[in-house]
Structure 1
Amino acid sequence: MVPEEFSDPASKPTNDIPLPPLRSSSQTVDDNVARLVQAGLQDLERRRRELQQEIEQLERRRDRIQAEMRTTFAGTSQDLAMRLQGFKDYLVGSLQDLATSAEQLDLAPPAVPPSPEPGRPSGGRPGQPGGATFQEEPPGNLSTTAFSIQRFEEQRERVRSLIDQYRTRPDYYGPPWQMRRTFETVHADRVSNWFFTQGGRGAVTSLGSRLQNVVVASGAISALYAIYGDRLCNMVLANTPERLGEWRRWLQDCLGISRADFGTNRGLMLFESPESMVQRAERLMENGYLPMLIIDESENNLPLAALRFPLWLVFAPDLANPAQDDYYYQS
């Protein structure tokens, strides 16, 4: 008998079932990773669309709120607060000036003026009743303080030197009434033209910003103060308290002065009414002071009487670059 292990395998019955071909494990892993990546991309795309929709909703809400702010009281409250702050600064400074002036009032009876010499006409303004005319000039010969080229010839070099110093060697910690801000060529050109071409009496084109105009005016004031000292009285005319508050604040910054330098008969004076400014300038000239009139570009009503004073500086609007009120843009 043939051993079983040596028998013919074909003669043995078999129950084996054929198996499908096996796939490699690496191909299975790749398929799983591809499915995960595809699912992740779909989830990211869905989230991106949701975020895009939320962003669009927020932008529409922002635009709606901005439109409401521009048309409702809630939107104008910030501008109103800025205006009130400017008026507060102006009012506080004016009250302080009033208190200081009240303390300095001389309540003694006025001295009786001496009678005029025989044959000598009494003093008065031309055109007043009686045909009286000035016979004596106030101290300092104010009738010759207009800066014509002939009158100003001996001081031309000093003023040029001061303007050049402000432009090239600024002193940010100098004494009061000296220019303390950056004084650029555009400012120096306007001040030089006002001194040497217009003779200290004329209009300069606005720089489109009240702050820049204050820098120009401060350069002229500083140079004049170096020549005339406390005799110089600067008078600023603007038609709203907010604009006067800006002039006060920026003049203090440019010239290194304090509120004590603002007064009714000294230093710097602020006016909303051109008639009041002209009347004060007349009294100052009668008392021997030298008034300098500075007119903000927003002022449209300038009396002709202001043009007869020896010093006046008017900022003319630049039609190509209209100015904007700076307090609208403060934070």
Structure 2
Amino acid sequence: MTNTKVSNNNPDKESIINKSITKAKDNEIIKNKTIQNKKVNSVSKEPNKSVDDISNELFSELISKKISLVQEIKDLETKKNELEKDIESNFKGQSDNIAKRVKGFQEYLTGSLQNLSQNVEKLELVSQPIVVKPSPLDEKKEASNKNELLTVPALSETFKPDEQLIRSCFSNFIEQPDFYSEPWKLRRSLDSSDIEVMDDWFFNMGGRGSLESRGSRQKNALLSAGFIAILGELYGDQFQTLILASQPERLGEWRRVLQDSLGLTRDDFGPNSGIVLFERPEGVIERADRLEANEELPFIIVDAAETSVEIPILQFPLWLAFAGSNDEIYDDLELN
């Protein structure tokens, strides 16, 4: 039986079947649209939720950073206040502390150098012979040997043989200055207090010791010019003056005063000249050793602003260390 025949024989049944098929298709279409709409709605809602979440997270993060930064600022302000208090407490009265330290060191340096000079004068420079009780047969021989023992003069007697020449120079220094005298002669005058200091250095200290500063570097250099002039009379070209001052400005003052007081030129200052300027004690010691090796005599002068004197300097036969007053050293430190 064919479909044509069925439709012809039973049209109502065919109509019912077609309606059922159509309804089923419509239901399927509606169902699909409903599912599709739900998917679209769910998709459209998800982005809205994620944007809100992201916004909330960013806002929370910004608030957290703000709180952290505020706390860091508070910590920095606290540290700043602590540093300001420390600076104020540490630097308050610093100048007084410097002055006290300088004063204490000055007293120590002056006392130590004076004690050292006195102890050196008391040293026995000749070793004592071993005394063995002689037999009666050797008594006469021992008596003759005692008369032959040599004695070494104390340091205070070093310049005794030249005392007349030195005191003659003292007299010339007090008189009116000779501004046109030949180089290496003192062209300025000194007062009686300067002469007393020089007399003590030559005849009591034996040319080795510290002297109180005359009040300024210019006056110390003028007094040193007097010493250099006298030593030039005694030793001629066989000695060299070595000046120690740890800063170029101080050495410049020494050079200007000595150049004016002794009628010198710049050529008189240098390794191969009469006066050599040093900023470090090691250079002074090395130069002095070299001079002695060449059988020449070093004369070492230490500026009043030097805070210490190296021990090897004290071994040389002629040295002079100026001990500055508390105010003088403090002013020098302030200027430099």
Query: What TM-score does the superposition give when structure 2 sets the normalisation length?
Result: 0.51
**1:271 aligned residue:** 278
Q: How does 1:17-96 map to 2 (within 5 A)?
A: none
Judged with a 3 Å threshold, the aligned counterparts in structure 2 of structure 1 residues 199 and 282 are, in CA distance, closer, same or farther, namely: same
Higher helix share: 2
Over the residues paired in the alignment, what is the CA RMSD in angstroms?
A: 2.2
Aligned mates of 1:275, 1:292 — CA distance in 2: 15
**2:318 aligned residue:** 311
Q: How does 1:266-305 map to 2 (within 5 A)?
A: 266-305=273-312
Judged with a 3 Å threshold, the aligned counterparts in structure 2 of structure 1 residues 324 and 164 are, in CA distance, closer, same or farther, namely: farther
Three-state SS of the structure 1 residue aligned to 2:179 is coil
Aligned mates of 1:167, 1:281 — CA distance in 2: 32
Aligned mates of 2:161, 2:237 — CA distance in 1: 21
Aligned mates of 1:223, 1:323 — CA distance in 2: 32
Aligned-pair distance for 1:324?
A: 4.1
Deviations 1:157-216 (A, max 9, x none): 110110111112422211111111121122212111111111100000001110000111
Aligned mates of 2:295, 2:170 — CA distance in 1: 27
Three-state SS of the structure 2 residue aligned to 1:247 is helix
Judged with a 3 Å threshold, the aligned counterparts in structure 2 of structure 1 residues 207 and 248 are, in CA distance, closer, same or farther, namely: same
Instruction: Choose which of 177, 193, 196 in structure 2 pairs with 1:189.
Output: 196
Q: How does 1:1-331 map to 2 (within 5 A)?
A: 148-319=155-326, 322=329, 324-325=331-332
Three-state SS of the structure 2 residue aligned to 1:149 is helix
Aligned mates of 1:263, 1:315 — CA distance in 2: 22
Aligned-pair distance for 1:327?
A: 12
Aligned identity (percent) is 40
Deviations 1:18-57 (A, max 9, x none): xxxxxxxxxxxxxxxxxxxxxxxxxxxxxxxxxxxxxxxx
Aligned mates of 2:288, 2:205 — CA distance in 1: 21
- Shifted more, 267-276 versus 297-306: the winner is 297-306
Letter of the 2:217 partner, please give it: R
Aligned mates of 1:170, 1:228 — CA distance in 2: 23
Aligned mates of 1:181, 1:278 — CA distance in 2: 30
Judged with a 3 Å threshold, the aligned counterparts in structure 2 of structure 1 residues 274 and 294 are, in CA distance, closer, same or farther, namely: same
**1:6 aligned residue:** none
Aligned mates of 2:305, 2:199 — CA distance in 1: 23
Which structure exhibits the higher relative contact order, with contacts defined as CA atoms closer than 8 Å and separated by 6 or more residues?
1
How many pairs does the alignment contain?
A: 183
Contact 1:177 1:256 in 2 (8 A): yes
Aligned mates of 1:327, 1:227 — CA distance in 2: 40
Contact 1:200 1:312 in 2 (8 A): yes
Contact 2:158 2:203 in 1 (8 A): no
Aligned mates of 2:232, 2:330 — CA distance in 1: 28
Is there any run of 5+ residues in structure 1 with no aligned partner, and where? Answer: 1-145
**2:54 aligned residue:** none
Contact 2:184 2:264 in 1 (8 A): yes
Aligned mates of 1:325, 1:174 — CA distance in 2: 33
Contact 2:216 2:328 in 1 (8 A): no
Three-state SS of the structure 1 residue aligned to 2:210 is strand
